[in-house]
Structure 1
Amino acid sequence: MGVSIGFICATTEELNRAEKEPSWAEAFVYDLYDNDDFPMPDRPYGDPDKAFAGLQFLFDATDVPLDFLMDGSPILEDGTLFGWSAEQIETLARRLRATPWEQLAAHYAPQRMTRGNVYPNTWQFRPEDELEWLKGAYGEIVTFFAAAAERGYGAFMSFSF
């Protein structure tokens, strides 16, 4: 399985309720992903999955102010569910649109990532394939943040380990 991150859109009302009722939020998010209609066209989701740490390495090197594990507000005490406000989503969507993939890719350093144990630490085996994997994950989160911002959504971010 491994460590992974996923985002799914949330209304402000859902995020407010989640803050007050964490157990409700946990069940609600589970039900969203477990729904027979998932993915739902009216509720965008983005799934950087295990690529989140490699993307974080590139964001840090490029000064993109996005920190998967520090941004957002914790909902569950175990650190597996976070809420991201509509304002955070809008700001990130704007920043990501202004950051072309090529700007991030210029900082791809498989040897440094391997030495730094950047999860999932597969960078040394097929560096070009891993770069393409990161490019796909980046495209997915850019699309997610743009779609969520366009609709005025916030998001739930799940962190599984």
Structure 2
Amino acid sequence: MSVSIAFMSATREELDRADREPSWGREYVYELYTSDPMPDRPHGGPGKAWAGLQFLLDEAEVNIEFLMDGSPILRDGTLFGWSAEQIESVARLLRATPWERLAAHYAPERMTIEEVYPNTWQFDAEGELDWLEHSYEELVAFFDEAAERGYGAFMGFSF
């Protein structure tokens, strides 16, 4: 079993309804994530890389908190809503944060000692750094596209 985070863009109406009717939100987001093909809207990771990216963001003093930002929809902490304003704000922060700024804080030994999920940093430090870079690029692309199109987002946290 893995712990991961995924974003799916959402309209204001969808977020409002999910906030009023959390069980509807759970079912709706499940349908969005499992539909084939997915709706024509931005979606993306960081997947299992979320904690590694959070470590780098924290070390670079970039004020984004995956597990604190957004508004909880489900009491079990598995579904959050992010407003269009929050998406725009994070998109600006990410655009102002080049990968190199984060990569400068990559510390596989420390991340291993601190058990930063998924705690694979010691096995292939360079490969894991490449994986984090790819995940960051996907995250930036999601926030950019969602912000350009005026979307908010659902954030699913699975564990």
Deviations 1:52-76 (A, max 9, x none): 0000000000011111111100000
Whether 1:82 aligns to 2:80 is yes
The aligned counterpart of 1:126 is: 124
Whether 1:8 aligns to 2:11 is no
The aligned counterpart of 1:31 is: 31
Deviations 1:70-105 (A, max 9, x none): 110000010000000000000000110010000000
Aligned equivalent of 1:104, options 89, 102, 105: 102
Unaligned runs of 5+ in 1: none
Query: Structure 1-normalised TM-score?
Result: 0.97
The aligned counterpart of 1:60 is: 58
Moved over 2 A (4+): none
Whether 1:73 aligns to 2:71 is yes
**How far apart are residue 32 of structure 1 and its match?**
0.4
CA distance in 2, matches of 1:77, 1:93: 27
CA distance in 1, matches of 2:114, 2:63: 20
Quote the sequence identity (%).
Answer: 68
Secondary structure of the residue that 2:135 maps to in structure 1? Answer: helix
CA distance in 1, matches of 2:137, 2:121: 19
CA distance in 2, matches of 1:65, 1:8: 21
Letter in 2 for 1:77: R
Letter in 2 for 1:83: G
| Aligned residues between the structures | 159
Aligned equivalent of 1:148, options 122, 126, 146: 146
The aligned counterpart of 2:93 is: 95
Query: Structure 2-normalised TM-score?
Result: 0.99
CA distance in 2, matches of 1:104, 1:35: 34
CA distance in 2, matches of 1:47, 1:61: 20
